[in-house]
Structures are given as C-alpha cells and as structure tokens.
Structure 1
Amino acid sequence: QYLDGFAAGMNRYAAERGDKLKEDFKVVLPVTGVDVLAHVQRVIQFHFLTNPQQLQTSSQSGSNAWAISPDYSTGQNALLLANPHLPWGDLFLFYESHLHTPNFNAYGAALVGMPTLAIAFNDHLGWTATVNPLIGATRYQLTLAEGGYLFDGEVRPFETTVEPLKVKQADGSYRTEELTIQQSVHGVVIDQQEKSAIALRITGLDRPNLPEQFLQMAAAKNWQEFETALSRLQLPMFNILYADNAGNIAYIYNGLIPVKKDGSWQDWLQPIPGDTSATLWTEYHAYQDLPRLLNPTTGWLQNTNDPPWTSTFPPVLQSSDFPDYFAPQGLDPKITAFRTQRSIKMLQDAEKMSFEQMVENKFSSYLEMTDHVLDDLINAAKASDEPIVQQAATVLANWDRQATPNSKGTPLFFLWSQLMAGENLFATPWDANQSLTTPHTLANPETAITQLQKAALQLKNTYDTIAVEWSQYAKLNYRNQQKPGTGASGRLGSFQVIEYQPVSQNNLDHQLQSVAGDSYIAALELSDPIRAKVLNTYGNATQPHSAHVGDQLSLYAKGEMRDAWFTRTEIEANLADHMVLEDN
C-alpha cells in the first residue's frame, strides 16, 4: 500500500504538471509500486553492492560519519554527523524529505526514486549510513561442458528463460525484442567464453522489505526499537551509526554476509571456482554475528568507509574475533586510510566536542596525506639542481596543506599525486601497530622529483606561475551554478570530500570541476528538542525551471549549513506552497 501510494503520487504529479516533464521521461508512466521496488533493488544491489560495469562498488561512493557520546560532548548530549559522498547525478542524487504521520515524525534524505528515508532523525534519535567493504556479490567461474556446466562431478543444464522486451519507436509504436537469460545454480550468467562462463550471485534479492524496515527505523523511539528494526537485515550493506536522546551511540557493520567455509576477504574478491558445492554459499550470518559496538569507552565512534576495526581508537573490535572474509584486515592508503586517520585525529584532538566544532570539522580540508610524505618531498626538491623544482619546494613549504579556495600549493600537490598514482609511493607500508602514522617515507625520491617537475611545468605553462590558488584551478559546479573550489578527494585525506574531474572545454580558466563528494549533510545534537543543521550540497531540484537547482552550493562553498525546519511553526514560517490531499 505504501509503495503504491508513492507511485500514485508520482503519477498524479505527471498528470497535473506534465508540462514540466521531458517527453523522454513520460515513457515509463504510469509508475507502479512494483516499479518502485524494482528501482530500490536496482540501486542497492546493482549499483552499490555490485557496479554494473566493473562488478565492484563505485569509487565515488563513500561517506563520513561520527557518533559522539554525551560524556565527550560539551553540551552533554549525544552528537551525530551524517555525511555521505556520492556522484552528483542520476540515481545517486539525494533529496530532503520530512515525513510526518500519526505514527512518527522524521526528517532526512532519500535517494531519488526511493520512497523512504535512508538517513534520518526523529524526535528521539538519528542514524546515518556509510558504504562498507562488505562483499555482497560473488563471481563464480563455471567450466562449460556439453549440455551445460560441471558441478560436483556432473553436468548440469542451464536454466534458460526468454523475456520479451518492448522497445518504443520514434513514431510511438513498440518493437518486441527477446532477451535470453541463462542461470546456473549460482545465479545469472553474465559472461560466457568458449570453455568457461561467469555466474553472479548477489545477496538480498530474496529480501524485498527494505522500505518497510526503513519506516520502522524512522518510527523507533529508542535503541531497542531501532535495533529490532535494523536486525531484520533487509538492508544488504552499509555501516549504520546511531545516536539518541538517552545518550546512546552505536556502530553496526550492517549487511548480509554469506556464510562461507573458508577464504579471506581478498580471496572472495576474485572469481571463485563454481564446479563444487563446497564454495556455494546458501545462508547469511545472523545479525548477532556482525561487528557491533554500543556506548564504547572511547566516547565516540567513526566511520569513513574503513573496516570495523578502526571505528574506535584504540580499537575495540578485533578482526581476529570474526571470520577473515568479513572485512579487510587494515587500511588501504590508496582508498580510505588518510581520510580515516584524519577523522580519528580530529576526534582525538578535542578534549570534548561541541556542536559548533563538529560542523567546523566537517568542512576541514586538511590533506592528511601531506603528513606522511610532504616533508620528504620538500627536502628532496630543495636538493635538486632544477630551478623550477626548487621553486616547487618553496611553494609546498609555504603551503597550509589544505584545499581551501585560497590555498596555494594545492594544485601542485594534487597534480603530483595524480602523476604518482601508479608508483609505489611509500617505503614504509601501513602497519596496524602504527595505524595513524603509517605509511610514510618516500620509496623513490628520484621518481617523486621527476613527477614534481612535470607538475610544476604544467602549472607554469598554464598559469605562468606554480603558486596557483585552488579556486583558480578547481571549481564547484552544479548545472548553472559555479563557486570557488574547496575540498579535495578523500584519497588525499580531506574530510571535506569533493571529487573533481578535468573540464571538457578548452576555453575555461580552470582545470577541474566537481562531479561527486559531499552530498546530504546533517549535524545533530540529540537534545530536547533536537538541534539540527542540514545541507543538500547541490540543492533539492534538477528541473531547469526550479529556483532550487544548486541553491545550496553557495552555503557549502562558505562552509556553512542551515537550520532544519522540523517543527510545524518553523515550516509554516517558511512555507512556499501547500497542497491538501484527500482520499479518492
């Protein structure tokens, strides 16, 4: 009924305001509740759990999250920071929503097309989600044989179905095409060669009640009710960080983890032999098996897409207490290590955290990677005989190591890090016993200086100087909105995460434009009443006629957030339009 009601709302909008919809979009109308559920599974299972092109999670999908206990908070209330990082387009867009029913009152954000809040707070509690490194898709390598594939010493036939697909033509008519689908006992066949094939097995396709679970989470009034909803495990992945007005904070490495006989996390990233039932998983670990923490003595919990073992520091959860295939054993400097270290250091640096300090820290663009490599790079550059390399050393030595609009040195370091991406950068790798200070030391100073010279020359040729401000080099772009660049890639250790890509036009005065990163942001103090500041970086609209396309980008560029309008008084004071819905 809820899904059908959500679909009916979209159909009503299309009927009443169809002139605001592109003709290309109208082909899917009318939308049904089944369509909505199919979209939910398409996004979760086939974009987060497994990338449709690369069969892995999108490299632009990530998040920051903090949960801080009252003992660690200056206001003596629990604090929660929600900060997902996703591409700024298509099905990854968030929209803010406030759901107020006789049963609950919840505010937060949902992904476009989703009928329920994925990150939210109500009068009693709040939660956020971060992408976790859980492996929810297994590729099985099949050995083909006459009549099918080998399994446990026998030849099994594929299950073959033919689905008719209607393809709309330019004149409005439809052409029918047939799609042949082959399935093994493992799952659907996604690739086939002469003697082998790959079958894909994905978690959670047998659990369709995620929208209902999200509604139960939003209606919860305390930790017990929230955990009861979460433990249904209808959400097949994502860490959950939680805080409430009773002072509880929690971390859950949430998801459907298949029960496997052996193998490490790295092993299960690779194609698995599919010719034996010994490797075929058929059950999931229970909620009680998952890494979880409630009210740790550290006074805070954090996640930056790292494994569960660094949710606190010193670690409370130990990888040795869980199967090797649950998560990676440590931090990966090529993905999350520096952002994780930056997150932990900011939490450690505060004797107690205020609400205002949490918001300020959210916009920290200090590049943690510089603490591990920059001094070595500067010293090596100072010893060079090349004048431009010596100039680069001076620029980097005077740099504030941040990615603020006025930071000089950020473009040079960014370019250098890009040129070094394929190199073995560090002589000392990441070490669990020195988890906040490793990796460190340049592995090959000669190569590092060669690439630094290339980066400096590139800037010199473009800008006639290598002391270029970040806002000259990078811009925040969304549709027709443009603001000075701020923030940087999480791979460099910036907590303010913006992922940039090179501009496509040659006549622009900047080199990079934002395409992903900080999306919906919420800072919560679980007081009575709740205190909340929010921001949807790119705004809550995509339609060209809307004034809300990119209208929050200016706040983001200044490191500011806005008050959430949560009470009826606040809403009525800021009302732009209203509609009375009646039962037909």
Structure 2
Amino acid sequence: MYKKLLILIVPFVIGTALTGSKPQSDEILWDKWGIPHIYASTDNNLYYMMGWAQMHNHGNLMLKLYGEGRAKSGEYWGENIERDKLLHQLGVLAASRRSFAQLPQKEKNVLIAFANGINAYAQKNLNELEEKFKVVLPVKPEDILQHTFRVFYLEFLVNRNIRKANNWTPGSNGWAINGSKTASGNSMLMANPHLNWNDFWLFFEARLISGTNDLYGTTLVGLPTIGIGFNKNLGWTHTVNTLDNVDLYELTLKNGQYQLDNKFHDFTIDSLLITEKTETGSREIVVVRKQSEFGMVVKEGENKAIAMKWPNSDGKLNIIGQWLAMGEAQTLGQFQEALKMNGLPLFNVIYSDKENNILYHFGGNAPKKNGDWGKWQNIVSSTSSDDLWQGYYSSKEVPSYLNPKSGWIQNANDPPYTSTIPAAISPKDYPSHMAPNAMGFRPQRSALLIKDAENLSLDEFIALKHDTKSEYFLRLKEDLSKIDPSELDSLTKKALEILLSWDGAFEASSTGPVLFSMFAKELGSKGVFAEEWDFNDPLNTPAKLKNLPYVISSLKIAAAKHQDVYGFLAVSYGEVYRLEVGKHSFGANGGAGSLGIFRTMNFSPKGNGQFFAAHGETYVCATEFGDEITAKALMSYGNATQPGNPHVGDQLELFSKKKLRKVWLKREDQLKNLEKHEKFSSMQ
C-alpha cells in the first residue's frame, strides 16, 4: 500500500493564470534561508513538492504531529493519552473523517499529492528521521485533515475555552494601509501572527509557482495550503479574533437522560477502545462518547453533566478549500467570493491589493444564538431549545467593511469595532453576542502608531512595526511624575527615578523594562485607572490613576523584589530576557502584549532570574503592492526544526536587530542566493 500511495498522481488544475507561461521545469530552488521556491508544471506536482519540502525542514515534527492527529500518541509513544481520549470524546477525529469524505475532489487531490511528497521524502531519507516517529509512515491524505482539525478545533478553540492549553495566549497583529498613507501611492500589508515557538504552532514559509498561480507566504507546519500570503495582485493576513464559537452547557439529568424543554431525551452513545503503550506492554482504554443536542458530554455527575458545542462537528465546512480559493483570487471580487465559503473556524482577515483596496472581515463560524456576550462566557445552565445554536452567520452578516475613510486598518486581537478610527462599523449594528466592545493597550498602541503616519516607504512601514514601547507605561508615566520623591524610601525613590527617565521602550539595552514588568505585575490588571475605557475615546482611555498610595506601595514591593533577584535596579532587559533557538542566543527586544507592546513577546522562566522567548513574534511579512510586488519578511525562529538543518534559528540575529530579509520573488535573485537545487525527477 505504501508504494501505491507514493505513485498515486491525479492531475488537476486550479486558479487563474498569473505567470503567463508555465514554469520551465518542476523543481525547488532553496534559497540561503531555507525557503523553498517551488516551480511546478501541474498543481499535483506543486503540492507533492510542498510535502517534500516540509519534510526536508521538519521531518520529525511532521510525523509526530500526524501521529498525534490520529489520536495515537498513547499507542505509539505512551504519551498524552488524555489528548487522544479528548479527540475521540469530543468527536474531533470523527468530524475530520466526515469532512474528508465530503471534500470536493480538488481538495482531496491537494491532500493526496501532499501526502505523496511526504512519503517520498521519508522513503528516500529514512536515516534522517528519528526512529520513534517512523511508526507513523506512510502518511495518508486523511492524516493531513485530521491534523488540521486537531490544531484548529482542539487547540485553537476547545483548549482555549476549557483552559487545558499550557503557556499559550492567542495573538497576532495586522495592518493594511492604502495609498493615502504611502509615499508611492501603493497599498501595503503587514502580516504579524503571534504563536508559540514550538510544536504544532510553528509556521513554514514557501513560494508556490505553477502555470496557474504564484503565491508566497506561510502556513502552519503540516498543512499544504498557504494560510497567510500574497500573489501578484493581492494579499491577506489573519489575526485571532474575539469569536465565541465554543460553548459549555450544564445539562439536567434523570435516569440517564438529559432534559430538553419539557422532555427527557436519550443521549446518542457509542464507545471505542484505544491503546496506551506502557513499560510492560500495553493496555486498552474504553472511551465513551455521549452526544446531546447541546453538544458532546465532557464531564458527568449524578444529576448534572457538562456538554460542549463546537463548530463543524458535522465536517461540512471546508478549511482547505477556502485557503485555496483565497490564494487563487486575483481580484477583490474573487477574494470576497472566497470569504463567502466561511470554511475557516475563526480569524479576522485583513486585506490589501494592487487596486488600492483594503478590507477588514470578521471571519469564522459565528453561531446564531440568544443572549449577550456575557452570558456565553460562562457555563450556560439550560434545558431550553432557545439556547441551542441556530446555524452560523453568513459572511454578509458578520462585521466587515471596505476602504475606510481613515485609509488604514489594524487589528491586534481587539474586537472588530476598533479596527479603524473613526470606527467604520458600530457594535449597535450587530448582535451583542457576536463580539465584545473593548480595546486593550496593545491594539491602542497599534492604532496610535499607524493612524497619523504619512508618506510611508516600505522601510518606514516596517520601522513602525518594530516599535517596542509600552502604551501601558506611557499612560502611567505622567501620573507617576506627580509622586513626591521625598516621601519615598531610598530604594523606591531610585526605582521611580529609573522609570521616569525611561522612554518606555523594551530594547535589549533598556534599564527600565525588567523593573516595570515587576511593577505592572504588582499593580494587577484591574482597578488601576479612575476613568474606564470609552468607545467614544478609544485611544486615550483608560486614564488617570485611581489610587496613588496603592501605586506607590506596589512600586515599593516591586523594587524590593527586583533588588532581591538581581542585586541592583538598573539591569539591562537583554541580560534577563533572551532569544534562544538552537545554538543561537541574543538579548531580547519586545515584550508582553498585556503591557501594550506592539512588538509582542512572551517568555518562560529559564532560572537564575532569566527568561527565554517562548511565544510571540513569529512570521512577519511587509508587502507593497506596486506594479511589481516588493516584500520583506522574517521567520523569527528560522524555517526548520529538523536536527542538523542549518536553518534552525538562523534568522534570530536579524530578529534581535529588528530587521527583515528581502523576499526574493525574481528567479534571478533566487539563483544568486541559491543554497540547493532539487529536480522533481530526483524526488520520485
């Protein structure tokens, strides 16, 4: 069966011609940053080589992820049996299988070709792969969709709601500006997702070139289609949106049934056996699946149960197809048609194109339901069919707008209503459960950076993006200056002097950020300001310290803790907060989004008072849509994880210097910066 899977090739054609002529040959030009520029005469060959290329850079990780997506971690490696159980119990695995069966042939062909490329690479390079992961081979087309469902539904949505994910907060920034704000008169786009720097969160950067398409961008490792990208006419990025499409219900039970309206109903129940590897052999575990109209049961007591509802459990929505359609689109109209598919479970879409259009779209499967936002942030105790979802809002019904008068769009995971100012849409025009109405300090910083910028070159656009100042600190600073130093002890007085002389920037050489981070932690997140955030004044509120004695007390505690850990107050940020990937190590810049820092980085403890980057700035791409596309990009942690690959962490130094690399879109530039040339014939 393995050999049959390798040779299965189904020709198909997608998209609208861009290049004007077919590539001269089927090949991969690997540039010196480990980015594959894949030239293909057919789309089948294109996705075959995409699978090959991802295995080249991430072989062990790919096989691990597909094994996990099968819910076989316990069986293969004796690990994470609880996740295996959850994938079955919630119906995520079953939904992915239903989805694969319903996929149009075009999308199935993409998955088939991608799996063939993965398996071909594995067969030719078995010695590069860790022995424990070879049990996953051969990879099947269904595995790719199972992995997709695991990442989007279990990790992005379900775990975010039941708090099972560790050390993860959803994040991303995005900007789109039109020619009114640029020196060239061209629109520009800034893609800037924030995810963990490991495992299934990692991105893979690639260029896909065929006779029918030419697409540059990135996707999550293990997926075949570009998820954030641009072609010669348009581009888009995603940010994680404030979409509530996972809900928990408390059910009322009686005699093994659950109440719905005035009747008690049977659950739909089935069970299956899964295997867990043990030190002495293996054991079988029974997983029971109980389904109600309110969703799948995740916890059960004698008289009550908790059920979870999540989108696309019937597998009818088409993630792969929507990203294909978005990448194939050559006009605004075609792109909007792709958005109508509503196949992606979440994400804002921020768009720019060659015709100077910019667009914001609150994407994802937004369920129609009763009640306001607050109701659905808690477990909903219900026996009423009035609380059941009534389908999803269409792409026309969710917050969306085109070409705002401001000339700019931003999103930093804030609700849709503050994505440009003055607001282009109003929360009054949408159901209250669609999204909250708020704006944190990071999106405020984002808007303040871009709203008054004019005459921007691409490099100036990029420089704005690299801002590291804390909007939270800047909002505090004026009131901090009103503190009378004569009333402070010597250590607290010194701490205040350091903060007041600091510009608020989280740079490696800065001596204020470590102290301020401790101070902000002591202050807490609520009750600091007398004036609350106001939609009518979104960039200047909250404001004015409410309780100055409390602020002074918090500073005193923070200064003492800082002194105890580091021995002195003026410690450099880069000495404490580090960027470390593979053999590469540099002082960090950027910091927590909760502090209002647009250059978002989150860190994990390293010991001895030090921290290392674990989440935040991942892929950055700035694109200008002129007669010829110009783009600069960076993959913070490098474009590879495979041991021995030179591109593990090789872009980290650029990150530390706040620089992006030129994206080589011309073949002549790719050849000048060529690391490796692979012919398709050598991949079979």
Answer yes or no: same fold by TM over 0.5. yes
Among residues 17, 20, 23, which one is paired with 2:125 in the alignment? 17
Q: Counterpart of 1:444?
A: 547
Select which of 525, 528, 537 maps to 2:627. 528
How far has the Cα of 1:499 moved from its partner?
A: 0.7
Q: Does the residue aligned with 1:405 lie in a helix, a strand or coil?
A: coil
Instruction: Confirm whether residue 351 of structure 1 aligns to residue 454 of structure 2.
Output: yes
Sort the Cα spacing of 1:443 and 1:569 in 2 relative to 1 into closer, same or farther, 3 A.
same
1:406 paired residue number = 509
What are the Cα deviations for residues 214-259 of structure 1, in whole angstroms up to 9, with x where unaligned? 1111111111111111210001210000011111110101111111
Which residue is equivalent to 1:259? 368
How far off its partner does 1:393 sit? 1.3
Aligned partner letter, 2:496: A
Is 1:207 paired with 2:316?
Answer: yes
Match of 1:62 in 2: 171
Structure 1 residue 316, shift from structure 2 partner: 1.4
* 1:305 corresponds to 2:385: no
CA distance in 2, matches of 1:381, 1:112: 54
Q: Any conservation in 2 of the 1:477–1:515 contact (CA below 8 Å)?
A: no
> 1:105, 1:124 → 2: CA distance?
10
Alignment pair present for 1:217 and 2:320 = no
Per the alignment, residue 482 of structure 1 pairs with 585
Give how far 1:378 is off.
Answer: 4.0
1:554 aligns with 2:653: yes
> Cα deviations across residues 51-84 of structure 1 (Å, max 9, x unaligned)?
1673589852211111101122111100000000
Q: CA 1:541–1:443 in structure 2 vs 1: closer, same or farther (change >3 Å)? A: same
Which whole-Å CA distance do the structure 2 matches of 1:532 and 1:359 have between them? 10
1:360 aligns with 2:448: no
SS in 2 for 1:162: strand
Q: Once the two structures are superposed, what CA deviation does each residue of 1:261-310 show, in whole Å capped at 9, x if it has no partner? A: x3111211111233111110131111110111111111111111111111
* 1:116 equivalent in alignment to 2:225: yes
1:408 is aligned with what amino acid? T
**Does residue 1:192 correspond to 2:300, yes or no?**
yes
User: Where do 1:141-156 residues align within 5 Å?
Assistant: 141-156=250-265
Matched, 1:581 2:684: no
The 3-state SS of whatever aligns with 1:435 is coil
Q: Deviations over 1:96-120 (max 9, x none)?
A: 0111122211010111111111100
Give the TM-score normalised by the residue count of structure 1: 0.94
Same amino acid, percent of matched pairs = 35
The aligned counterpart of 1:276 is 384
Name 2:77's counterpart in structure 1.
none
The 8 Å contact of residues 535 and 552 in structure 1, kept in 2 or not, is answered as yes
Q: Which amino acid aligns with 1:74?
A: A
Aligned residue for 2:476, secondary structure, equals helix
Runs of 4+ in 1 over 6 A off after TM superposition: none
Structure 2 unpaired stretches of 5+ = 1-108
Residue deviations 1:462-491, cap 9 Å, x none? 333211211122111223321111101111
Q: Deviations over 1:521-547 (max 9, x none)?
A: 000001121000010000011122111
Q: Is the 8 A contact 1:273 1:279 kept in 2?
A: no
Counterpart of 1:576 in 2: which secondary structure?
A: strand
Q: 1:575 to 1:208 in 2, by over 3 A?
A: farther
Q: Tell me which of 41, 50, 64 is aligned to 2:158.
A: 50
Could you tell me how far 1:168 is from its partner in structure 2?
4.5
Give, as a single letter, the amino acid of the residue that structure 1 aligns with 2:552. Answer: I
Amino acid at match of 2:257: G
Per the TM alignment, residue 443 of structure 1 is displaced from its structure 2 partner at its CA by 2.4
Match for 1:73: what amino acid?
T
The letter for the 1-side match of 2:519 is W
Q: Does 1:88 align with 2:191?
A: no
Q: Which residue of 2 aligns with 1:334?
A: none
Q: Once the 2 structures are TM-superposed, how far is the Cα of residue 192 of structure 1 from its aligned partner?
A: 1.3
Higher helix share: 2
Distance, in Å, in 1 between the alignment partners of 2:404 and 2:674 is: 42
CA 1:390–1:463: 2 relative to 1, 3 Å: same
Equivalent residue in structure 2 for 1:467, among 553, 565, 570:
570
- Which residue of 351, 369, 376 maps to 2:479? 376
1:414 deviation in Å? 0.7
2: distance between equivalents of 1:94 and 1:527? Answer: 27
The one-letter amino acid paired with 1:430 is W
Aligned-partner SS, 1:217:
helix
Superposition map of 1:98-247 within 5 A: 98-168=207-277, 175-205=283-313, 206-247=315-356
Unaligned stretches of 5+ in structure 1?
A: 332-336
Q: Deviations over 1:377-407 (max 9, x none)?
A: 3433625331111111111111121101111
Change (3 A) 1:90 1:346: same
Aligned residues: 573
2:80 aligns with: none
Q: Could you tell me which amino acid in structure 2 is paired with residue 379 of structure 1?
A: K
Higher relative contact order (CA 8 A, sep 6+): 2
CA contact (8 A) 2:317 2:344 kept: no
Following superposition, the deviation at residue 43 of structure 1 comes to 0.8
Match of 1:427? Answer: 530
Residue matched to 1:543: 642
Distance 1:99 1:457 in 2: 55
Per-residue CA distance 1:195-221 (angstroms, 9 max, x = gap)? 211111111333342112211111111
- What TM-score, normalized by structure 2, do the two folds share? 0.81
For 2:222 and 2:160, the matched residues in 1 are separated by 19
Take 1:19 and 1:378, find their aligned partners in 2: how far apart are those partners?
63
Question: Is the Cα contact below 8 Å between 2:239 and 2:349 reproduced in 1?
Answer: yes
**Partners of 1:60 and 1:517 within 8 A in 2:** no
Q: Offset of 1:170 from its aligned partner?
A: 6.3
Report the AA paired with residue 78 of structure 1.
S
User: Residues 271-350 of structure 1 correspond to what in structure 2 (within 5 A)?
Assistant: 271-331=379-439, 337-350=440-453
What is the Cα deviation at residue 423 of structure 1?
5.2
TM-superposition CA deviations, 1:330-381 (whole Å, max 9, x none): 22xxxxx111111111112313332111100111001111122123234336
What is the aligned-residue RMSD (CA, Å)? 1.9
Shift of 1:444: 2.4
